[in-house]
Amino acid sequence: MKNKIDISGLIVEYGERGGKNLALDGVTFSVPEGQFVSVVGSSGCGKSTLLYVLGGLCGFTGGTVLIDGKPVTGPGSDRGFVFQQYSLFPWMTARKNVMFGVAQVRRGYPRREIRAVADEYLNKVGLTNAAHRYPSRLSGGMQQRVAIARTLAMGADVLLMDEPFGAVDAKNRVLLQELLLDLWSDETKRKTVVFVTHDLDEAIFLSDRIIMLTDSPGSVYLDIAVEFPRPRYRDEMMKSIVYDDFRRTLFADFFGQKEKKIERDSFII
């Protein structure tokens, strides 16, 4: 299978005058088309930065970043982005938000058609009845569903999601994860997804593969396949011994890495 995303030796430095802040230090990995990858790592390790670079929202200092073999130079409608929160336009209703997205990729289409596409995707995320509401009148979970509907309705091949369920309560989070998997597997041509989270269970449940970054500055610490068959059912998965083992190793890596870092830091002092 051909690679959708190729990142090699990616270095991102946030240059404030005087002190330079290295956010990513030589990140290298590729994502084949149609794969669901989760990027995990502790807070501040550069997950968002990595995603922003992929989305073309943030420049980088070194390395190469290719989508479909072409260098990323800015945002594009081949990539859809879902942010953690507050990414809907508050002055547009849920439907208008989705329509506005669709209108950006289907320029010159009649409004009726754009509206039909928007309604179709609002229906898929179960928000037909809330279509006329403004984001301020929607719960955090509903807002994220609208954001997902907007991104999917635009039909990008690559989905970049930055902790999209990070601000949603535990129960809705589980529901949203299931919804996302359903939508992702329903598409005839599976989308390539890069999903940032710091919830390991979320990463295991959703992805084909997990990339763990080191603490800041981020580089790839661990790159591991998640070989649970799809379709996945949360209850069955959680019950299996394989899951327990996998989860334990992953957590050990996640926290072990921190301890190592602390040792090193104290040594320096």
Site residues, other proteins (CB under 8 A): 52, 55-57, 75-77, 79-81, 83, 85-92, 100-101, 104-105, 134-136, 150, 154
- On whether the CB atoms of residues 165 and 202 are closer than 8 A, the answer is yes
**Which residue intervals of the chain are DSSP H helices?**
47-55, 94-105, 111-124, 140-153, 170-186, 200-206, 234-239, 241-268
Cα 178 to Cα 49: distance, rounded to the nearest angstrom = 26
Q: Which partner in ligand ATP, other proteins, Mg ion, none is near 105 (CB below 5 to 8 A by kind)?
A: other proteins
Tell me, by CB under 5 A, how many residues bind Mg ion.
Answer: 1
Question: Which of 106, 133, 190, 198 touches ligand ATP by CB under 6 A?
Answer: 198
Distance CA 226, CA 209 (A): 5
What tokens appear for 263 in the block?
Answer: 């040792």
164 interacts with ligand ATP by CB under 6 A: no
Work out which of 35, 38, 42, 48 binds Mg ion, going by CB under 5 A: 48
Angle between helices 140-153 and 94-105 (to 10 degrees): 20
List the single partner that 66 binds among ligand ATP, Mg ion, other proteins, none, CB under 5 to 8 Å by kind: none
Question: Binding partner of residue 79 among Mg ion, ligand ATP, other proteins, none, CB under 5 to 8 Å per kind?
Answer: other proteins
Which residues, other chains included, contact 27 with Cβ-Cβ below 8 Å and sequence gap of 6+? Answer: 7, 9, 10, 46, 50, 63, 213, 218, 219, 220
Shorter beta-carbon distance to other proteins: residue 76 or 141: 76
Site string for ligand ATP, 19-58 (x = CB under 6 A): --x-x-----------------x-xxxxxxx---------
Cβ proximity to other proteins, 21 vs 240, nearer residue: 21
DSSP-based three-state secondary structure for 243: helix
Alpha-carbon distance 8 to 5, whole Å? 10
Give the interface segment with Mg ion, choosing from 45-53, 74-82, 186-194, 197-205 (CB under 5 A): 45-53
Give, rounded to a whole angstrom, the gap between the first and last alpha carbons of the chain: 48
Beta-carbon contacts of 256 under 8 Å, excluding residues fewer than 6 positions away, are none
**Can you give the binding site for Mg ion, defined by CB under 5 A?**
48
Chain residues binding ligand ATP by CB under 6 A are 14, 21, 23, 41, 43-49, 198, 216
